[in-house]
Amino acid sequence: MKTLVLYESKHGGTRKIAELIGSKIENSVVARIQNFVGRLERYDRVIVGGPLYGRRLSPVVMDYIKENKSMIDQVFVSGLLGASADEELHENFDDEFIQDKHIEFIGGSLEWKQMNYLERLRVRIGARIKKNTPTDTYDMKSIDRIAKGVY
């Protein structure tokens, strides 16, 4: 059984999550969507994930999911606004898709050094998170559910 974990990551937070998921699955390959050149048909399970910015899932991930809908088994979303996770998922996907693909909201992390001035400002003012606060809010239960394929 071969599993593919595909992700997009602007600053590295979602890459960490994808690698964590991959480390928990035997015989798995983890790759950034843009770098993946193989064929999805070669894998028994395909998991795809990406980050939320301004309440929208990264367009690279959204387009990839739309194009390969039938080949994707599960989707994970990285973001920090856990309280409104459900709302955000529904802004990005329809109900049927959420149920069908077992979408998991994993949480996220802020990679301060990778963020530009405007992004740091948006996070500090919008989310009221002080500069350089370590922010790793991964939901390990969600990560385990994805890794084990438990829906």
Q: What is the contact surface with ligand FMN in residues (CB under 6 A)? A: 9-14, 51-55, 78-81, 88, 108-111, 115, 119, 122-123
Nearer to ligand FMN by Cβ, of 44 and 126: the residue is: 126
Nearer to ligand FMN by Cβ, of 41 and 56: the residue is: 56
Nearer to ligand FMN by Cβ, of 42 and 131: the residue is: 131
In angstroms, give the least distance from the CB of 114 to ligand FMN. Answer: 7
The Cα 110–Cα 30 span in angstroms is 21
Which of 32, 106, 101 lies closest to 69, judged by CA?
101
Amino acid identity, position 67: E
List strand residue ranges (DSSP E) for 33-80, in order.
45-53, 56-57, 74-78
Q: Give, for 31, the enclosing helix (H) or strand (E).
A: strand 28-32
Residue 13 contacts residue 110 (beta carbons within 8 Å) = yes
In angstroms, give the least distance from the CB of 6 to ligand FMN. Answer: 13
Nearer to ligand FMN by Cβ, of 27 and 35: the residue is: 35
CA 10 to chain centre: 11
The Cα 4–Cα 46 span in angstroms is 5
Nearer to ligand FMN by Cβ, of 27 and 118: the residue is: 118
